Structure 1
Amino acid sequence: MKLAFSIAKRFLLSSKGQTLLILIGIVIGVSVQIFIGSLITGLQASLVDTTIGNSSQITIEAAGTQNYFTDDNTLFDQLKNDQRLTAVSKSFDGSGFIVLDEDDTYPVLMRGFEFEQANQIYDFESSLVEGHIPASENEIMIGTNLAKDLELSLNDSVNFLTTSFNEVELEIVGIFDLGVASLNKSWMISPLNNAQKFFNEENQLSAIETQVDDVFAADVIAEDIASHLDDNLITTNWKDQNEQLLSGLTGQSISSYMIQVFVLLAVLLGIASVLAISVVQKSKQLGILKAMGIKDRTASFIFLFQGFMLGLVGSLIGVAVGIGLSYAFSFFVKNPDGTALVPFNLNIPFIVISFVIAVVATTVAAVIPAKNSSKLNPIEVIKNG
């Protein structure tokens, strides 16, 4: 084995141009694989974060036609202690109207939260454009689009009319921008107990909203949570509600895998063909070595070691180049607001797997040349020159 490794190393160094050509092919193949894989993974993470990053991923709500269910601290505490959930928040929703004048109203959705918990999901503190988060009775915050449409400003007062014809005067203490026009235009947010009081639904909830550690396991976690709930409660999850997004992500993954496979196949065919030519080029040396007593098995290992060494060095350089390309893409390709179009995503497990596959594949690519070398007849090789 040591002799085969030494001869393989000498053969590679004696044909520097050929060795460099193979290395370039491996580097390009592995770097493209790392770059495309990281790009798709980063894009998917960005899409998921944009779509559901600041929203409920598993929601517990009343079953059937009921709008509300009784606030149960036992259930809430159980969910808070569930290690699979990263955030748990109570919420209360009620439809109503902003009274503009005697004959004109504007429909809005009153949402009540306990902000300490809700901030972990909706990040209201970072979304505030002006003012502060409501804390006292009759304080609310509204979205930027709603403020613009109704020409409302900080510290203005509005009359809010519920669907049960309860009317209350509210003070705007904050204006938020959640990045979604429909929410900025329709949500009116207050502390949970205030919203419940406006609708005469004390101790009632519309939903318990949660986020999970593994977003792609949300459907499995939701099903498990549902199995422990009363019959009057159900769970919904983001995967069931975003089937088109999931289809798009699946399509991206499949296209990424196909590109990576074809790139790897091209590299392997190149390595196999160049090493096959190398067997012919080195046939005289191999014939002499066999005549001196080298076994067929040792001759085969010469080319297997060549494939392994080329794969190891080429894959290491390819991984470095691929990571560099991914970083450069995220650094130079920006959105209009200056953020990265696709965030840099260093997926260590994916990189390690890609590296191992590349090394194993390049070694396997040397199997056919290795078999050819073992079939060489030393007498015929030496005789024919």
Structure 2
Amino acid sequence: MRLSFTIALRFLKSGKAQTVLIILGISVGVAVQIFIGSLIQGLQISLVNKTIGSSSQITISPTNKDKTIKDWKRVMYEAKISSPEIMNVSAAADGALTIDYDEDTSPVVIRGFNIEDANKIYNFKEGLIEGSFPLKKDEAIIGFDLSKRAGVEINDKIVLVSPSGARSKLKVTGLFDLGVASLNDTWVVTNLETAQDILSLDNKVTSVEMQVKNVFNADLTAKALAYTLSVKDVEVENWKEQNAQLLSGLNGQSVSSYMIQVFVLVAVLLGISSVLAISVVQRSKQIGILKAMGIKDKDASSIFVFQGLMLGLLGAIMGILFGFGLLLSFTRFALNPDGSPVVPIYINNGFIALSGIFAILSSMIASVIPARLSSKLNPIEVIKNG
């Protein structure tokens, strides 16, 4: 084996131009894999964070006639202990109302929370651009867009009208921007007690919301939670059911990424195999002489397997460096007007290592054909026809 490795290294050194071209081919393939894979993963993570990252990923909703959950504290407790995947559990009291301002009226949604619990889900703290949270009764924060439309500022009062005609006044203590126009234009966020009072819910809520550690396993976690809940007249929904189109788009991106990477891998494999096969023909006289001197067919084949291994290893290392270079360039030149990257790059060390390993394995697989060709060479005929 050591002899085969030494000969393989010598063959690579003697054909430097050919060796460099093969290594460049492998490195480009690895770089493309890393760049496309990291780009797609970054895009998916960005989309998930923007769409469901700051929202409820599993929601427990009532199925009874009055659409409320009476024993909601028990539901929250059972949700918290049902799985280590579940985190950030919050009860919510929601209802459709109308805001009445000087010139017009418009529909809004009042959302009552325990603000500390809800902040872990909706990031109100980061979204609060002015003022403070509604900690007292009859206080609320509203979206920045709604405040402009209604002409409302901090410490002003808004009038909310229920479907029955009951009117409630809330003091605006803050303005928020959650990055979603529909929420900024319709949400009136208050504490749980105020929302229950305005909506005549007594001590009931309309949903229990939560987030999970692995968003893509939310359906499995929701299924397990539904099985363990002892409270009746509720159903457990997850974001996958509510965002089927988004999930389909993410799956389509993943499939496209895998297909591109497979085609790149096949192209690299075919390129290495063809070049090494030509190398067998070019080196047939030397191989014939080695066989005549007593080297075994197995050792002759190992020469090209070692070549594939060394080419794959060098190509993988250079490809990873090239891949990082492409990613760095992309984040420097593809920018939004505010200077942030168009797509945030996600560096997955496991994926990068896997790309390098695949490149090495592909190179070794590609060397099998020339290895078999070398084992079939007849030393007498090669030397005679040399």
Q: What is the TM-score normalised by the length of structure 2?
A: 0.96
For residues 153-175 of structure 1, the C-alpha deviation after alignment (integer angstroms, 9 at most, x for no partner) is 11111222222333222111101
- SS of corresponding position for 1:79: helix
CA–CA separation in structure 2 for the residues paired with 1:21 and 1:105: 71
**What does residue 17 of structure 1 align with?**
17
- Residue 129 of structure 1 deviates from its aligned partner by 1.5
CA distance in 2, matches of 1:99, 1:270: 71
Distance 1:335 1:33 in 2: 25
Per the TM alignment, residue 275 of structure 1 is displaced from its structure 2 partner at its CA by: 0.4
Q: State the secondary structure of the residue aligned to 2:140.
A: strand
**How does 1:181-192 map onto structure 2 within 5 Å?**
181-192=181-192
Helix, strand or coil at the partner of 1:133: coil
Aligned positions of 1:67-78 closer than 5 A: 67-78=67-78
Task: Give, as a single letter, the amino acid of the residue that structure 1 aligns with 2:98.
Answer: F
Which amino acid counterpart does residue 231 of structure 1 have in structure 2?
Answer: K
In 2, Cα distance between equivalents of 1:55 and 1:384: 76
Give 1:79 shift: 2.0
In the alignment, the residues of structure 2 paired with residue 158 and residue 59 of structure 1 have an alpha-carbon distance, to the nearest angstrom, of 29
How far 1:104 sits from its partner (Å)? 4.8
| Structure 2 equivalent of residue 268 of structure 1 | 269
Match of 2:250 in 1: 249
TM superposition shift of 1:30: 0.7
Query: How is 1:40-55 mapped onto 2 (pairs within 5 angstroms)?
Result: 40-55=40-55
Is the CA contact (8 Å cut-off) linking 1:71 and 1:203 kept in structure 2? Answer: no
Matched, 1:160 2:163: no
SS in 1 for 2:339: coil
Does the aligned pair in 2 maintain the 1:142–1:189 contact within 8 Å?
A: yes
SS at match of 2:317: helix
> 1:62 matched to which residue of 2?
62
Q: Distance in 1 between matches of 2:197 and 2:71?
A: 14
Q: What residue is the counterpart of 2:114 in the other structure? A: 114
SS in 2 for 1:55: coil
2:41 counterpart SS class: helix
Q: 1:316 corresponds to which letter in structure 2?
A: I
CA–CA distance in 2 between the matches of 1:233 and 1:337?
Answer: 44
**Correspondence list, 1:205-224, <5 A:** 205-224=205-224
Per-residue displacement from partner, 1:203-252 (whole Å, max 9, x unpaired)? 11111111111111111111111122333000111111111111111111
- The worse-fitting range, judged by mean Cα deviation, of 316-325 and 23-32 is 316-325
**Letter of the structure 2 residue corresponding to residue 182 of structure 1:** S
Describe how 1:1-385 pairs up with structure 2 within 5 A: 1-81=1-81, 82-100=83-101, 104-229=104-229, 230-385=231-386
8 Å CA contact 1:58, 1:218 repeated in 2: yes
Tell me the SS of whatever aligns to 1:204.
coil
Counterparts of 2:372 and 2:123, CA distance in 1:
63
Structure 1 window deviating more from structure 2 (17-26 vs 81-90): it is 81-90
User: Percent of aligned pairs with the same residue?
Assistant: 52
CA RMSD, 1 decimal: 1.4
Aligned pairs, how many? 384
How far apart are the structure 2 equivalents of 1:331 and 1:343? 11
* Rounded Cα–Cα distance in structure 1 between residues aligned with 2:104 and 2:301: 88
Cα contact 1:164–1:199 (8 A) shared by 2: no
Task: Give the drift of 1:255.
Answer: 1.0
Separation in 2, partners of 1:317, 1:66: 64
TM-score of the two chains, using structure 1 as the length reference: 0.96
Q: Which amino acid aligns with 1:349?
A: G
Q: In the TM superposition, what is the alpha-carbon distance from 1:52 to its structure 2 partner?
A: 0.6
Q: Give the letter for the 2:153 counterpart.
A: S
Q: Distance in 2 between matches of 1:299 and 1:383?
A: 19
Is the 8 Å Cα contact of residues 72 and 205 (structure 2) preserved in structure 1?
A: no
- Measure, in 2, the Cα distance between the counterparts of 1:199 and 1:64: 17
The amino acid that maps onto 1:130 is E
